[in-house]
Amino acid sequence: MRRILTTLMILLAVIVAGLTSLVLLVNPNDFRAYMVHEVAERSGYQLDLDGPLRWHVWPQLSILSGRMTLTARGAEEPVIRADNMRLDVALLPLLSHQLQVKQVMLKGAVIQLTPKTEAVRDSSAPVVPHDNTLPLAPGDRGWSYDVRQLQVADSVLFFQHENGEQVTVRDIRLQMEQDENHRATVDFSGR
């Protein structure tokens, strides 16, 4: 019994030492430029993170940020503003300097879908009809995104129709989860 207890204590000490060294040796701000670049490259949106990024180690290893905004190219106002953002990350890829995000959590977000938040098209860009849809390729098994889960809590949605009428949805709770087949499950509530 004593050997089992000693083995468990040693294992616990190794885990605590590993997490402590990760937090002390890996600066989460080193991932800032990578995250901004990946969001711009994959979506065309500009991600702005205010303040320093910091670690949160219990119960899930996470990177926390302060205020964040997500703005479409050429838009006057951001599509999403949030008081804070949490990225739940996988531990083992971090050891090889890779950032693998399991979940993105936005709390206190303001989501605006108005003409001021729409992307501005470059005048020299080609025009594509709105109803242009291509058939799915045989190998296409549904849309995918790199983050396994997206969660939005305690948030507000402002939607403005083309005629200027505005709809506000409060207390939004949104949970999107992707399975192994890249199919999404969406759970949404608001009032």
Q: Report the pLDDT value the prediction gives residue 129, as an integer from 0 to 100.
A: 54
Angle at alpha carbon of residue 124, lines to 120 and 128, rounded to 5°: 70
Angle at alpha carbon of residue 78, lines to 187 and 56, rounded to 5°: 60
Task: Evaluate if pTM is beyond 0.75.
Answer: no
Q: What is the pLDDT along the chain (191 residues), one digit of tens a residue?
A: 888 989 989 998 887 887 777 777 778 888 888 888 888 888 889 999 998 999 887 778 888 998 999 999 889 999 999 988 998 888 777 767 677 888 899 988 999 999 888 888 776 666 655 554 444 444 444 333 367 888 999 999 999 888 888 999 999 999 999 888 878 899 988 88
Q: Report the pLDDT value the prediction gives residue 128, as an integer from 0 to 100.
A: 57
Q: Report the pLDDT value the prediction gives residue 141, as an integer from 0 to 100.
A: 41
Could you tell me the two tokens for 146?
């790199």
Cα separations (Å) of 54 from 46, 83, 121, 170? Answer: 21, 15, 36, 29
CB neighbourhood size of 78 (10 A):
21
Per domain, the residue ranges of the chain are 45-120+142-191
Angle at alpha carbon of residue 139, lines to 146 and 177, rounded to 5°: 30
